[in-house]
Amino acid sequence: MKSNDVVLLQQEIPPEVTIAAIRGAHDKGARVVLNMAPFAALPEDVIALIDPVIVNEHEALMLADAGLVPVSTVTTFGAQGVAWDGEQRPGVLVSADKVADTTGAGDAFCGALCAALASGADRSAALVAGLNAGAQAVQHDGAQPDGNL
């Protein structure tokens, strides 16, 4: 792996697979990013390998209730924006008549954030990339646009 490699995971697979992937990617030198959706507590030593953990505001409470303290945390607030360890960015304004479906907005945010990090972007630029992708994702039906866009 290269120094800019980023591995993005979520928790819709068995926890033992997630844990193995986190450890393996970290051991190979990749930056590991975890979207903790759906929320499930992981061992503290595994949480320590992730930078950042991505949670929505409800998952952030569950993370705190579990007593887990990541290296860094990105908290999403839907249309209201995002915060990365206190650095806040407002959401990208999409008029209500243009919002078709919010399915996939979080995945688009996470993917674009990680792509920006892998290309060398700093936190601020990565957040902007994620927010822009999330805003684009809500403007079509389903998790991805059809091929005619």
Q: Catalytic: 5?
A: no
Q: Which of 109, 129, 118 is nearest to 54 (CA)?
A: 109
Catalytic one among 107, 122, 141, 146?
107
Which residues are CB-neighbours of 37 under 8 A, at least 6 positions away? 10, 11, 12, 54, 55, 56, 59, 106
Q: Which of 28, 30, 29 is nearest to 8 (CA)?
A: 30
By DSSP bridging, strand 50-56 and strand 87-89 are unpaired
The catalytic residue positions are 107
